[in-house]
Copies of this chain bind each other. A is one copy, B any other.
Amino acid sequence: MATMMNSTVFGTVVPHKNPTILRPLPCSLEELFCGKVKNYTHEKKIYDSSGKTFTVHKSTLQIYLKPGWKAGTKITFPKEGDVIPNIEPADLEIVIEEEPHPLFMRENNNLILRKNISLLQALVGFSFSVPYLDGSEFAVDVESLTFPLTPKVVQGKGYLSQRDGSAGNLVIFFNILWPKVLTEEQKSILKKGPLSECEYLGLL
């Protein structure tokens, strides 16, 4: 068990306090987007006056996730540490962690999506449905040409800023997939088609 050690400040005996206890709370990107009340099961030891035997006390702490909270956000429950005679119980700090998501990544208040598209889609445009963090779906239409390394930004579809209440963006990066093989006949059709007539960006 912990040692009993007191400090003296200006002649007054101040009970020793153990260092703050940090505990991670993994949250999904959906939970941090929508907000949620999460339960956290907390255990602490309560020592008797001898300081040698203890009972374990289990409690459920409720954490009110606010929409937009980030990894690293801390919620403090004061004096939730073990109860030991002559020692002030430590504080408990719950630290928000972001769980990996199968589709999205988060960068600050932006939501990042990577999507494979074919070369044809990159040239002629396309639309697709995004299964969103609040359970809804919405359509993204890309009418113009998609250039390599140039993301599509959907304004306001990111996380709420805790600082000023503004919304981040959904940033979609496209991975343009290439034809596996083209036959000689296909090549000769392409040579006579639109790609032989159009103007190219920066061709010397």
Contacts and interface: CB of A to CB of B under 8 A. Distances in A.
Interface of A is mostly: mixed
A145 interface: yes
A63 interface: no
Nearest to A194: B186
A99 B194 CA distance: 42
Interface in A188-204: 188-191, 193-204
Chain A contact-residue range equals: 35 or more
A177 B198 CA distance: 11
Contact of A120 (B120, B180, B181, B195): B195
A123 interface: yes
25 contacts: A116-B202, A116-B204, A119-B200, A120-B191, A120-B195, A120-B196, A123-B195, A124-B187, A124-B190, A145-B182, A178-B200, A178-B201, A179-B195, A179-B200, A179-B201, A180-B199, A180-B200, A180-B201, A181-B199, A182-B198, A183-B194, A186-B194, A189-B193, A189-B194, A193-B193
